Amino acid sequence: MDEDDTKPVDDGDSRDDESPVSPGGDRTDDSQLVGDPEGTGDPEATGDPEATGDPEGTGDPEATGDPEGTGDPERTGDSREATDSNTGSVDDVLTTGTSVKGSDGTTVESRSRDRSSPEVDIGSMVLEDDEEDDKGLFDDLLSGEPIFENKEVLRPSYTPHKLPHRSDQINQMATILVSALRGETPSNILIYGKTGTGKTASAKFVSQELESTSQKYEVPCDVEYINCEVTDTQYRVLAQLANKFIEKNQDRIQERLERLREVRSDVVRNGDARVDESDLEVNEGDLRVDENRQSESSDGVDIVKFDSVGELDDRIERLEADADGMEEVPMTGWPTDRVYSTFFEAIDYRERVVVIMLDEIDKLVEKSGDDTLYNLSRMNSELENSRISIMGISNDLKFTDFLDPRVKSSLGEEEIVFPPYDANQLRDILQHRADVAFKPDALTEDVIPLCAAFAAQEHGDARRALDLLRTAGELAERSQADLVREEHVRQAQDKIELDRVVEVVRTLPTQSKIVLFSIILLEKNGVHNINTGEVFNIYKRLCDEIDADVLTQRRVTDLISELDMLGIVNAVVVSKGRYGRTKEMNLSVPTEETEAVLLSDSRLGDIENAQPFVQARFDN
Ligand SMILES: Nc1ncnc2c1ncn2[C@@H]1O[C@H](COP(=O)(O)OP(=O)(O)OP(=O)(O)O)[C@@H](O)[C@H]1O
């Protein structure tokens, strides 16, 4: 409200030019107070300022003595009393009201004293107020020239059309999967690589190409993508796949039914009882058909001939029964073998090659063992009409160690490794995306190289590089800068780092949080190169304070090692000669922010005054 109400100060020049409340100014001149534009020479004062409780008619809270810009007539009256000795007492001001008629015939209360109130047009003034009120919360934010042309392009969900520096891997995948287009079963593929190296993006790109080519050449080939981080049990994987194929089958059956019904009505309309055989020739695509009725057309598509309308009706009935018989798998509740057989039937309903992409396949194995992979990999020997091929994607190179040797050898028929990107490659990737994502010339020259350099330091992660670029753009946009500059990238780097730390710290187990809090307390009290004994001492006291179990010093040392691995503390083992070895550590994350996250935990939040614990520490 403040901003809106104070805005007219900039627009109106009445106060600066001839403010009635200027020092020593006397506001008793009626012509000014009734807002006579001619009389006052005040271009803004076209209405009765008194009527709005604003002596200048500018809506200026300062001028009205209404510091909060509330437009409250009582407050205005107060202030006028204080600044203008000639206007009488507050009570007078408040009680002596007259009515002023606006141009629209509305009556507005005037609080001026002893004044005749001629008819005044308040329309324009009201309009001005309306305009100000119309300015919403988002107007200012929207008014800035946006930096982004299409921000979505920088989000992880976007699948780019071009994947620079991945052509080798993409070609490798294509060479393996092309057999699907020849109706053969492609080898299973395992794709490895660290996070953000373009595994998912490349696999999705290849699968889109595969599906579109299969449509072009009318070769039945489907690709199904499953993210095993979300769908992480055998039941869910099989249920999701079963339902997808049931849906596809249903769509296909409906298409066929429509076609058959069309043919039927044509035949009945044209040929009454006599049926011309050619009319009954229906291209059934590759639906399962009665074998003795099936013949191959020249383009390889099955043609089914019907001898009579009755036969056509039988076919329609059978298809309808098929459709009715396909029951969707509920997300829980069925025995796994029923889910498996439903999936099996759904996939085998028609001839096709199916590529199943299991992204984050290591998560599936970690959560529910290798049963799913075992079942999927032996399916081909039982399927009659279709064939499946598995494409597993993982950033854990060691996950196959946990697999049954049979699964391991069948899954890893082909392996493709995605190496990390270097800074130059990341620069190309960012440039391609930035061209679409940002307005022309919205980035200074050093922005992309800097984002690439930061991300290259972190194992060449393209996701991180894109996050940096997007966050830098958002920070620039938020600060209403006209360009994204180097400083925005640095701020973005800090922000992302802090967000990561906050997330890691927030999700630590309570015991680790207590250990970390002990380290923070020591650091805050000026202790550097903190040793395990000191941490343990404070840790014990904190546990007593919040009634937590006290772990042994050995366990606490393990927890410190975990914090070290997470990059929260930096611990080194130092030798103390004949006193043995100890770990010395320092915090590697911002103290204040980390402490705030820890204290937001309801248990640690109970620690009221931690100072005494620190004073009781062992001195080196
Ligand atoms: N060569 C590339 N060109 C353009 N964008 C890329 C390229 N490589 C990766 N990306 C982008 O980087 C982001 C991360 O890529 P992707 O999800 O494919 O990585 P990933 O290797 O599957 O990582 P994770 O193992 O964490 O799932 C995506 O937004 C993707 O579009």
Task: State the residue range of the domain holding 550.
Answer: 508-615
Q: How far is CA 20 from CA 74, 83, 90, 193, 235, in A?
A: 19, 11, 19, 75, 80
In this structure, the chain runs to a length of 620
**What is the share, in percent, of the chain residues with pLDDT greater than 90?**
34
Ligand 1 closest atom vs CA 395: 25
Q: What is the pLDDT of residue 30?
A: 38
Q: Is the CB of 429 under 6 A from ligand 1?
A: yes
Ligand 1 closest atom vs CA 166: 1
Residue 568 lies in a domain: yes
Instruction: Provide the ipTM.
Output: 0.98
| One domain, residues 226 and 123 | no
Residue 87 lies in a domain: yes
Residue 430 belongs to a domain with what CATH number? 1.10.8.60
Residue 115 one-letter amino acid: R
Residue 19 lies in a domain: yes
pLDDT digits (tens, 9 = 90+) for 334-359: 999 999 999 999 999 988 999 999 99
**Mean pLDDT for all residues in the chain:** 75
| One domain, residues 483 and 515 | no
Highest-confidence range of 65-79, 192-206, 299-313, by mean pLDDT? 192-206
For atom 24 of ligand 1, the residue with the nearest CA is: 195
- Residue indicated by tokens 């509330």: 70
Find the DSSP H helices in 412-509: 423-437, 447-457, 462-478, 486-506
Q: What is the pLDDT of residue 612?
A: 52
Residue 158 lies in a domain: no
d(CA 334, ligand 1 centre) in Å: 36
| One domain, residues 108 and 26 | yes
* Cα–Cα distance for residue pair 547/73, rounded to 1 Å: 59
| One domain, residues 443 and 582 | no
Q: Bigger pLDDT: 146 or 335?
A: 335
For the residues 28-32, what does the mean pLDDT come to?
Answer: 37
Pocket test for ligand 1, best of 200, 393, 421 (most atoms within 8 A of CB): 200
- What band does 593 get if pLDDT is binned at 50, 70 and 90? confident
Cα 110-112-115 angle, rounded to 5 deg: 105
Q: Is the CB of 198 under 6 A from ligand 1?
A: yes
* Cα–Cα distance for residue pair 430/160, rounded to 1 Å: 11
d(CA 429, ligand 1 centre) in Å: 10
For the residues 49-62, what does the mean pLDDT come to?
Answer: 39
| One domain, residues 493 and 521 | no
Q: What is the pLDDT of residue 519?
A: 93
- Residue indicated by tokens 């929260």: 568
| Phi-psi map region of 374: left, alpha, beta (phi>0 left; psi -120 to 50 alpha) | alpha
* Cα–Cα distance for residue pair 351/442, rounded to 1 Å: 52
- What band does 619 get if pLDDT is binned at 50, 70 and 90? very low
pLDDT digits (tens, 9 = 90+) for 162-197: 899 999 999 999 999 999 998 889 999 999 999 899
For the residues 430-457, what does the mean pLDDT come to?
Answer: 91
Q: What is the pLDDT of residue 193?
A: 92
Q: Is the CB of 163 under 6 A from ligand 1?
A: yes
- What band does 143 get if pLDDT is binned at 50, 70 and 90? low
Binding residue ranges for ATP: 197-201, 421, 433
| One domain, residues 293 and 370 | yes
Q: What is the pLDDT of residue 50?
A: 39
Helix, strand, or coil (residue 369) = coil
Q: Is the CB of 200 under 6 A from ligand 1?
A: yes
pLDDT digits (tens, 9 = 90+) for 39-52: 333 434 333 433 33
Q: Is the CB of 195 under 6 A from ligand 1?
A: yes
Q: What is the pLDDT of residue 71?
A: 40
> Does position 38 have pLDDT exceeding 80, yes or no?
no
Q: Is the CB of 363 under 6 A from ligand 1?
A: no
Q: What are the residues whose beta carbons fall under 8 Å from the beta carbon of 105, sequence distance 6 or more?
A: none
Q: Is the CB of 146 under 6 A from ligand 1?
A: no
d(CA 209, ligand 1 centre) in Å: 17
d(CA 464, ligand 1 centre) in Å: 9
d(CA 466, ligand 1 centre) in Å: 9
- What band does 609 get if pLDDT is binned at 50, 70 and 90? low
| One domain, residues 448 and 399 | no
Q: Is the dihedral of CA 585, 589, 590, 591 positive or negative?
A: negative
Neighbours of 137 (CB within 10 A): 6
Residue 341 belongs to a domain with what CATH number? 3.40.50.300
* Cα–Cα distance for residue pair 215/122, rounded to 1 Å: 69
Residue 180 one-letter amino acid: A
| One domain, residues 434 and 581 | no
d(CA 162, ligand 1 centre) in Å: 12
Pocket test for ligand 1, best of 155, 463, 468 (most atoms within 8 A of CB): 463
Residue 564 lies in a domain: yes
Residue 146 lies in a domain: no
For atom 6 of ligand 1, the residue with the nearest CA is: 198
d(CA 22, ligand 1 centre) in Å: 65
For the residues 451-463, what does the mean pLDDT come to?
Answer: 90
Binding residue ranges: 197-201, 421, 433
Q: What is the pLDDT of residue 14?
A: 38
Q: Is the CB of 589 under 6 A from ligand 1?
A: no
Q: What is the largest CA-CA distance in the chain?
A: 112
- What band does 199 get if pLDDT is binned at 50, 70 and 90? very high
pLDDT digits (tens, 9 = 90+) for 527-572: 888 989 999 999 999 998 888 899 999 999 999 999 998 889 998 8
For atom 29 of ligand 1, the residue with the nearest CA is: 156
Q: Is the CB of 199 under 6 A from ligand 1?
A: yes
Q: What is the pLDDT of residue 187?
A: 93
pLDDT digits (tens, 9 = 90+) for 383-397: 999 999 999 999 887
Least confident segment among 1-10, 419-428, 431-440, 581-590 = 1-10
| One domain, residues 133 and 28 | yes
Last-in-domain residue among 502, 530, 556: 502
d(CA 420, ligand 1 centre) in Å: 11
| One domain, residues 404 and 461 | no
**What is the share, in percent, of the chain residues with pLDDT greater than 70?**
69
d(CA 613, ligand 1 centre) in Å: 47
Last-in-domain residue among 411, 437, 460: 411
Q: Is the CB of 510 under 6 A from ligand 1?
A: no
Helix, strand, or coil (residue 530) = strand
Helix, strand, or coil (residue 182) = coil
Tokens of 82: 């204080």
Q: How far is CA 217 from CA 132, 180, 207, 211, 300, in A?
A: 62, 12, 15, 10, 11
Q: What are the residues whose beta carbons fall under 8 Å from the beta carbon of 160, sequence distance 6 or more?
A: 153, 201, 205, 432, 433
Residue 144 lies in a domain: no
Q: Is the dihedral of CA 12, 18, 21, 22 positive or negative?
A: positive
Integer distance in angstroms from the first to the last C-alpha of the chain?
58
pLDDT digits (tens, 9 = 90+) for 17-28: 333 333 333 333
| One domain, residues 521 and 492 | no
For the residues 436-458, what does the mean pLDDT come to?
Answer: 90
* Cα–Cα distance for residue pair 562/296, rounded to 1 Å: 65
Whether the CB-CB separation of 284 and 256 falls below 8 Å is answered with yes
Residue 594 belongs to a domain with what CATH number? 1.10.10.10
Q: What total of structural domains would you count in the chain? A: 4
Q: Is the CB of 253 under 6 A from ligand 1?
A: no
Whether the CB-CB separation of 102 and 52 falls below 8 Å is answered with no
- What band does 140 get if pLDDT is binned at 50, 70 and 90? low
Nearest to 202 by CA among 237, 160, 231, 242: 160
* Cα–Cα distance for residue pair 306/284, rounded to 1 Å: 11
Q: Is the CB of 462 under 6 A from ligand 1?
A: yes
Last-in-domain residue among 376, 411, 446: 411
Q: What is the pLDDT of residue 610?
A: 57
> Does position 617 have pLDDT exceeding 80, yes or no?
no
| One domain, residues 404 and 459 | no
> Does position 58 have pLDDT exceeding 50, yes or no?
no
For atom 17 of ligand 1, the residue with the nearest CA is: 200
Residue 417 lies in a domain: no
* Cα–Cα distance for residue pair 530/440, rounded to 1 Å: 51
Q: Is the CB of 431 under 6 A from ligand 1?
A: no
Least confident segment among 144-148, 296-300, 324-328, 458-462 = 296-300
> Does position 466 have pLDDT exceeding 90, yes or no?
yes
